[in-house]
Amino acid sequence: MKFLPLIWAGIWRKPGRAVLTLLSVVNAFLLFGVLQGFASGLNHAVAETHADVLLTLSRISTEPLPVGQLDQIKRVQGVRATMPMVPVISTYRTPTQIVPAEAIDPAQVLAVDPGLTIPQAMIHALQRDRTGAIVSRVLANRFGWKVGDRVPLRALNVANRDGSPTWPVDIVGVFSSSGGTLFKNAMLINFDYVDQGRTTNGGTAPVFVVRIDDPHQAGPIAASIDKLFANSANETKTATVRQIAQNNLKQIGDIGLVINAIVAAVFFALLFLVGALMMQSVRERTPELAVLKTLGFTDGGLMGLILAESLTFCLVSAAIGLGLAAMLFPVARRLIGFNIQAGPLMLTGFALAIGLALISGLPPAIRAMRLQVVDALAGR
């Protein structure tokens, strides 16, 4: 600890150079934090889904299933509640303002989604008003909606009876959602309103939500639901929300691999950057280091000193970069509802910083260690 001032002075020997390198390294750790935070947010979103909620979809893509099938599903042993759901993907004022509206059955929605916390009164309000809609706090904040507003949704996938894509809805409630619900960022509207108002696919839904009693029975129950409709015109594919979320992520591609590749590339460049800084600094300090050796510093001690310098530098940069990234995490939660686990991410970040410091600090440290006092002082 008593060497800390010496180490600190060594780092700030050329303040301009140190600050520039520091900014580079901080920048890299910020990028690392944001990318890994994104990956961890995705994983967390998958992990917090409920294991006792199944979705039944058409075996083929997004074709609608007749709601009559729900009666049969309800009779399957272990099924607690069912609900048809029609995603009405809509836009608000501009085509980029996406509103994920879900046409659902208000009487069943609390029964099928254990993660949803909506007061019973708000459910009643939705049931009373055919064109009613309740929206999540996230969505209400994004578009500045409040109770009583009339919102003309422009549906991308469901046409209204008059052939137009417009579905006017009235906001009757705003709900706060925690993690683990199907409807975290959604707007909920009445299934009946959409079903009776549309021109095609009446009496069908592309998604059935099925709540079961025992999460451990998810596999067998899903299999028996699919068996009910095997070889019929409307074959189904049932899986837990978690499995479907994992599958969807896989469909996009190996996100983790891409992120790791980018981080690896960035840190590869950093090795050279920090290495060059340390090497330059050691080279310029040759006489000073020789003096330290004359004063009694051992070879190992000098090597340790240089490594400690590199280590301090990298850890400070990492702390700043990761700190900046952590400041962005609450923003991510507010905007996209991402819950990022900062702890493990910070640990990986600091481990990377230590690795970076040791690898890039080693060549200059060895140079300092091998310094011959006589030669160095003579400027040879």
Partner 1 sequence: MNLIKQIWAVTAMNVRALPQRAGTSLVTVIGVATVIAVMVSLLAIGQGLLLSVGRNVRADDAVVLSSGTAASYMGSISRTAAAIIGDAPGVATDSAGRPMVSPEALVIVEVTKLNGDSANIGFAGVTPEGRVMNPSLHLIAGRRFRPAVRELIAGRSASGQYRNLKLGDHVTLRGTDWTVVGIFEDNGGQSENALIGDAETVMSAFGRGNFQMVNVRLQSPAAFTRFKDALTSNPQLSVEVRRTAEYTKEQLKPLTSIINFVGYFIGIVMAVGAAFGAVNTMYSAVDARVREIATLRAIGFGGTAVVVSVMVESLLLAIPGALLGVAIAWILFNGRAVSSLGLTFPLAVTPGLFELAIVWALAIGLIGGLAPSIRAANLPVATALRAT
CB of 164 or CB of 196, closer to partner 1? 164
Residue from 4, 9, 107, 262 binding partner 1 (CB under 8 A): 262
Site for partner 1 in 60-89 (CB under 8 A): 60-61, 63, 89
Q: Are 86 and 207 in contact (CB under 8 A)?
A: yes
What distances in angstroms separate CA 222 from CA 85, 113, 158, 219, 351, one per listed residue? 18, 17, 28, 5, 43
Told to check if 24 binds partner 1 by CB under 8 A, we report: yes
The span from the CA of 268 to the CA of 261, in Å, is 10
Site for partner 1 in 233-252 (CB under 8 A): 233, 235, 247, 250-252
CB of 132 or CB of 275, closer to partner 1? 275
CB of 1 or CB of 252, closer to partner 1? 252
CB of 89 or CB of 362, closer to partner 1? 89
CB of 9 or CB of 258, closer to partner 1? 258
Least distance (Å) between residue 277 CB and partner 1: 8
Q: In terms of Cα–Cα distance, which of 7, 9, 6, 38 is closest to 328? A: 38
Told to check if 165 binds partner 1 by CB under 8 A, we report: yes
Told to check if 277 binds partner 1 by CB under 8 A, we report: yes
Stretch that binds partner 1, among 4-12, 112-120, 259-267, 295-303 (CB under 8 A): 259-267
Told to check if 21 binds partner 1 by CB under 8 A, we report: yes
The span from the CA of 167 to the CA of 158, in Å, is 9
Residue from 4, 6, 23, 378 binding partner 1 (CB under 8 A): 23
Half-sphere exposure of 306 (CA within 13 A, CB side): 34
Residue from 273, 315, 328, 377 binding partner 1 (CB under 8 A): 273
| # binding residues, partner 1 (CB under 8 A) | 42
203: left (phi over 0), alpha (psi -120 to 50) or beta: left
Stretch that binds partner 1, among 21-29, 48-56, 171-179, 216-224 (CB under 8 A): 21-29
Stretch that binds partner 1, among 123-131, 132-140, 158-166, 180-188 (CB under 8 A): 158-166
Q: What are phi and psi of 341, to 5 degrees?
A: -85, 105
The span from the CA of 101 to the CA of 87, in Å, is 6
- CA dihedral (78, 81, 84, 88) positive or negative: negative
Q: Name the burial class of residue 21, with classes exposed (0-12), middle (13-18) and buried (19+) by CB atoms within 10 angstroms of its CB.
A: buried
Q: In terms of Cα–Cα distance, which of 101, 66, 291, 79 is closest to 190? A: 101
The span from the CA of 237 to the CA of 330, in Å, is 36
Strand partners, 169: 151
Told to check if 17 binds partner 1 by CB under 8 A, we report: yes
Q: Is 233 helix (H, G, I), strand (E, B) or coil?
A: coil
Query: Which residues contact partner 1 by CB under 8 A?
Result: 16-17, 20-21, 23-24, 27-28, 30-31, 34-35, 59-61, 63, 89, 156-157, 159, 163, 165, 199, 231, 233, 235, 247, 250-253, 262, 265-266, 268-269, 272-273, 276-277, 279-280
